[in-house]
Amino acid sequence: MKLNILYSFLNTDLQIIEKELEATIHAESPVLRQASLHLLQSGGKRIRPVFVLLAAKFGQYDIHVVKNAAIALELIHMASLVHDDVIDDSDLRRGAPTIKSKWDNRVAMYTGDYIFARSLEVMSEIKNPLAHQLLAHAIIEVCKGEIEQIKDKYDFGQNLRTYLKRIRRKTALLIASSCQLGAIAAGVEEHVHKQLFRFGYYVGMTYQITDDILDFTGTEKELGKPAGGDLRQGNITLPVLIAMEDPRIMALVGSVHENISKDELTDIIDTINASGAIEKASEMGDAYLKKAFAILETLPPNRAKNTFSEIAKFIGKRKF
Amino acid sequence: MKLNILYSFLNTDLQIIEKELEATIHAESPVLRQASLHLLQSGGKRIRPVFVLLAAKFGQYDIHVVKNAAIALELIHMASLVHDDVIDDSDLRRGAPTIKSKWDNRVAMYTGDYIFARSLEVMSEIKNPLAHQLLAHAIIEVCKGEIEQIKDKYDFGQNLRTYLKRIRRKTALLIASSCQLGAIAAGVEEHVHKQLFRFGYYVGMTYQITDDILDFTGTEKELGKPAGGDLRQGNITLPVLIAMEDPRIMALVGSVHENISKDELTDIIDTINASGAIEKASEMGDAYLKKAFAILETLPPNRAKNTFSEIAKFIGKRKF
């Protein structure tokens, strides 16, 4: 089953968003236009727009208002991906060459800036000051997370708390903000949009933990990039942290460096996969999902609530 | 005479802005805090905050409201400097090492992002949607300008129009927006804030042309970095464009590359300085200034108008 079957009733509105995303990043500059379109067309799940729309269904849903929050959040996400690829020195994303590999780091930096600026233009259509404050706060946290991520690279002494704080800033906050901003754009009352934020937050944590697990268990075809890429780049994720509780694995993992051979990396991945760390990491992902479901229970019943529930279940089980 | 004597009556308010600038970029992350503070403390003329405050004097001036526009615009300017230094591969700015040279390009990229995000947080205090739209538009243009700048580097066939478009986006638009946003934050009526935008735009054009001239005529001590840096980095500015009208100088300049020796560069700078191009460039700067004064004539009389006039005169004559 594919994720998008769960929200096919949003298809008309998602197509509006897709068209406007493309129109928004259209630039006279050929490099900028090609680089931005390249990223947009390489796909992505559009999880943030979907969450914006679903959360807006808890209020006065008007696609011509809420679309702005959806487009802005997807653009911010895209901008952060472009800058992330510079930091991670990644050549592939979603199976396609990254902007920094197809052009260079300088083009990637300014393409990210440009897409980010475009998101502000779209956001300026939303008149609610609270929406702007919340979004600015989320973006600040994303930036802090990205700086921390540089610092934490190849730091094999980091603990679980560092990891959780990092994925909170890297992923969970923007998904949480997608829910909250969609709700605010639809005039949802405060206690409900705050609950939607929490729901998005917990789902986002599970989403990233699953992503980090898949980097070990997925195939190159499923991932659109070689497995074990996180570890090679020095990103210490949950499966590694758990596996390193065993001092022998700790010693093995501690030897990882940027230019490790494919065979050596495969050996380490196999060791981590065989250590039971994947199962424990998965349990932690499930624990966050359980919290998400508990929040969902408190929300008024409607179709979007059911869809949120289905999506959360899917994310808990997703294999790619 | 120093520029800041002209607006000493703003000193109390400028001190508030300086303190809040420092408080705003304060981050828990040591790298981020040090990198941002490093930039803030290396000085700068704070032209944008001064223009915001002066323009606000045409309306209901309340420092606690207009300060947000002043801080946001200075932060956006700072963020763009940090990213510019990555592109230009600059090791010195304002006589101090740049973030990218003291840390690295990745830290510079995210420090820029972080400062930019902070500016959004500050801007979210301003409730006027028009202010947000105008600012978003200005930032998009700045980003486009930066991408164009990469493309135009070492392109010795570019024309005057390319140059003017570039400095419009690089400098004039943010100074123009400073005037307009200060005015809007103080409730100034439309035809006045639009005139203030135009005034800032023309002053900004002169400001950048003068900057580009000083890169040829200034000493290393005055500039805080070696002279001729623009040309070495492949930034073709007005004096070069004018000098290249002489085919012999065109041939000479066309040989410039990143690793040109200091002596060779000095020879080229001397040739350009002796060609009469500096004087012609200066005349063009004066022409923009004349337009700025014409706009100023149409504005209602007050102290800020006098100060704008004094600053514009100063900028026309500035030597550093």
Residue B93 banded pLDDT, cuts 50, 70, 90: low
Question: Which of A77, A147, A152 is best to mutate for the B interface (most B CBs within 10 A)?
Answer: A147
Q: How many whole angstroms separate alpha carbon A238 and alpha carbon A255?
A: 18
Q: How many whole angstroms separate alpha carbon A61 and alpha carbon A64?
A: 9
Sign (positive or negative) of CA dihedral B108, B75, B34, A233: negative
Residues of chain A scoring pLDDT < 70: 1, 27-29, 32, 41-43, 89, 92-95, 100, 319-320
**Residue B155 burial by CB count (10 A; 0-12/13-18/19+): exposed, middle or buried?**
exposed
Tell me the sheet residues that pair with B93.
Answer: B96
Query: By the CB < 8 Å criterion, does A110 face chain B?
Result: yes
pLDDT at A27: 66
Q: Which residue has the higher pLDDT, B296 or B35?
A: B296
Closest-CA residue of A relative to B27 is A144
**Percent of chain A scoring above 70 in pLDDT:** 93
**Percent of chain B scoring above 70 in pLDDT:** 93
- The residue with tokens 């906050």 is A173
Mean pLDDT of chain B: 89
Residue B38 has pLDDT above 80, yes or no: no
pLDDT at A195: 98
Closest-CA residue of B relative to A32 is B147
pLDDT at B36: 72
Q: How many whole angstroms separate alpha carbon B68 and alpha carbon B131?
A: 11
Q: Residues with Cβ < 8 Å from B223, sequence gap 6 or more? A: B214, B215, B229, B320
Q: What is the pLDDT of residues B221-251, one digit of tens each?
A: 777 777 888 999 899 999 999 999 999 999 9
- The residue with tokens 């963020």 is B79
pLDDT at A181: 97
Give the Cβ contact number of residue B9 at 10 Å.
12
Give the Cβ contact number of residue B271 at 10 Å.
16
pLDDT at A29: 66
Average pLDDT over residues B117-136: 90
- Comparing A201-215, A282-296, B37-51, B292-306, the range with the smallest average pLDDT is B37-51
Q: Are B3 and B314 spatial neighbours (Cβ–Cβ below 8 Å)?
A: yes
| CB–CB contact A117 B139 (8 Å) | yes
pLDDT at B317: 81
pLDDT at A28: 64
Q: What is the pLDDT of residues A72-122, one digit of tens each?
A: 999 999 888 888 877 776 776 666 777 767 777 788 888 889 899 999 989
**Structure-token pair, residue A37:** 């379109």
* pTM beyond 0.90: no
pLDDT at A3: 79
| CB–CB contact B109 A123 (8 Å) | no
Residue B218 has pLDDT above 90, yes or no: no
Q: Which amino acid is residue B154, in one-letter code?
A: Y
Assign domain B3-317 to its CATH superfamily: Farnesyl Diphosphate Synthase (1.10.600.10)
pLDDT at B163: 96
Q: How many whole angstroms separate alpha carbon A76 and alpha carbon A70?
A: 10
Query: By the CB < 8 Å criterion, does B32 face chain A?
Result: yes
Q: How many whole angstroms separate alpha carbon B233 and alpha carbon B249?
A: 18
Give the Cβ contact number of residue A103 at 10 Å.
18
Closest-CA residue of B relative to A107 is B147
Q: How many whole angstroms separate alpha carbon A172 and alpha carbon A164?
A: 10
pLDDT at B42: 66
Residue B210 has pLDDT above 60, yes or no: yes
| CB–CB contact B124 A118 (8 Å) | no
Closest CA to B212 of B233, B232, B240, B234: B240
**Structure-token pair, residue B262:** 């200091």
- Comparing A142-151, A274-283, B202-211, B292-301, the range with the smallest average pLDDT is A142-151
Q: Are A233 and A259 spatial neighbours (Cβ–Cβ below 8 Å)?
A: no
Q: Are A242 and A283 spatial neighbours (Cβ–Cβ below 8 Å)?
A: no
3-state secondary structure string, A87-117? Answer: HHCCCEECCEECHHHHCCHHHHHHHHHHHHH
Query: By the CB < 8 Å criterion, does A301 face chain B?
Result: no
Sign (positive or negative) of CA dihedral A227, A231, A234, A239: positive
| CB–CB contact B109 A124 (8 Å) | no
**Structure-token pair, residue A119:** 């998101």
* Complex ipTM value: 0.82
- DSSP code per residue over B195-251: HHHHHHHHHHHHHHHHHHHHHHHS-HHHHTS-TTHHHHTT---HHHHHHTTSHHHHH
Residue B1 has pLDDT above 70, yes or no: no
Average pLDDT over residues B96-111: 77
Average pLDDT over residues B67-89: 87
pLDDT at A225: 75
Average pLDDT over residues B252-272: 91
